[in-house]
Amino acid sequence: MILSLFTLIGGESHNAQHSTRFASGRSAATLSQSQIIVNVERPEQFRYLGQRDFQKWALTAASSIKAFYKDYPLERTVITVHAGAGDTVLYGESTYNDELGQGEIEVLVGRETSFESLITSWTLTHEMVHLTFPIVHEDDRWLAEGIATYVEPIARKRTGLISEEQVWQELAEGLPQGFSEASPPYLRIGNFRGTRHRGEMYWGGALFCLLADLKIRETTSNSMGLEDALVSIVREGGTSASDWSARKALSVADAKLGKPLLLPLFEQFQDEEVEVDLQELYNKLGLVYDQGEFKLQDQAPLLPMRLAITGNADGK
């Protein structure tokens, strides 16, 4: 199946700006140490970091989640930090403990990691995004990983950790990894059910999210986006604490959107091969590759949508 961008996101952009429809919950300042608990195993192994550094890192990541989802989704999250070799954050994994009623994240951090490297790392924010969505069946894991990959840089941009340029640079460089085959001018993607391919799970899933975001914005004249859909899932109880399936979560989101937008696209990516002209998508968003990096152009058909996705359109 060939889905042109005109099929996926419509042929025209709209000038309506993104609007936020939900009242804010806790402020970043009220994300407390009783809500975000950090346990550092053998803290003496870290050369430059102490308990307060890890706590600040955790609260900063949680604040990014709140900036995107309007609140932090769980009452209690326990983060366990392990020491490893090197000078960066090496690994992260998240789950939900039903018995204790808490989200749990394990992170492996290099013993030589500086505070600057720690605070600018994406890993903990990525794992916290997982806590905002159901722990789905392995066949649907690409969707959960795609959401975490897509939302993480946008959420960190909302709290000033990275710039708009960095968000799109990361996405533009990563998205080609989600394609299994190139057949110019289209790239073939999809048939993801049960995939274990890392590029397909993370970046193929992220492309699903981007196309879904643009489709929602095209359909609603840019008044709603994937953000609203994901927030609605959380508010209806579809976090990692739930036993929801991927389809139930997307059905709840579609109900919020007022029409079936996410579930049909999910079914296409899950069971069919979809071909997308990625260069056309970049051109419409105003992403131009120049001297080794992607740069943003303001003369682009989808500029209002691009700005709304990262939160620029309404000054956030």
**d(C-alpha 13, C-alpha 303), whole Å:** 8
Rounded CA-CA distance 24/68 in Å is: 10
pLDDT band at 188 (very low <50, low <70, confident <90, very high): confident
| Residue the block writes with tokens 């604040």 | 63
Task: Tell me if residue 95 falls in helix, strand or coil.
Answer: strand
38-67 tens-digit pLDDT: 999 999 999 999 999 999 999 999 999 999
Instruction: Tell me which residue has tokens 């899932």.
Output: 233
Structure confidence at residue 184 (pLDDT): 57
User: Is a pLDDT exceeding 50 seen at residue 151?
Assistant: yes
User: How does the average pLDDT of the chain come out, rounded?
Assistant: 88
pTM to 2 decimal places: 0.89
Q: Is 123 in a helix, a strand, or coil?
A: helix
Note the pLDDT of residue 29: 46
Angle formed at CA 146 by CA 303 and CA 283, multiple of 5 degrees: 25
Assess contact for 264 and 247: CB atoms under 8 A.
no
Residue 292 confidence (pLDDT): 84
What pLDDT is attached to residue 34? 72
What pLDDT, on the 0 to 100 scale, is given for residue 18? 25
Least confident of 17-26, 39-48, 207-216, 296-305: 17-26
Q: Model confidence over 94-108: pLDDT tens digits?
A: 999 999 999 999 999
Per-residue model confidence as pLDDT tens digits over 119-140? 999 999 999 999 999 999 999 9
Residue 30 pLDDT greater than 90, yes or no? no
Percent of the chain with pLDDT over 90: 81
What mean pLDDT do residues 286-301 have?
Answer: 92
Q: Please name the amino acid found at residue 158.
A: R
Contact (CB, 8 A) for 231 and 155: no
The predicted pLDDT at position 204 comes to 95
At 235-269, the pLDDT tens digits run: 999 999 999 999 999 999 999 999 999 999 999 99
Q: What are phi and psi of 173, to 5 degrees?
A: -75, -30
What does the pLDDT read at residue 190? 87
* pLDDT at 189 (0 to 100): 85
Comparing 29 with 62, the larger pLDDT belongs to 62
**More confidently predicted of 111 and 30:** 111
Mention every residue, 6+ apart, whose C-beta is less than 8 A from residue 206.
146, 149, 150, 171, 174, 175, 178
pLDDT at 19: 25
- Digit-coded pLDDT (tens) for 63-82: 999 999 999 999 999 999 99
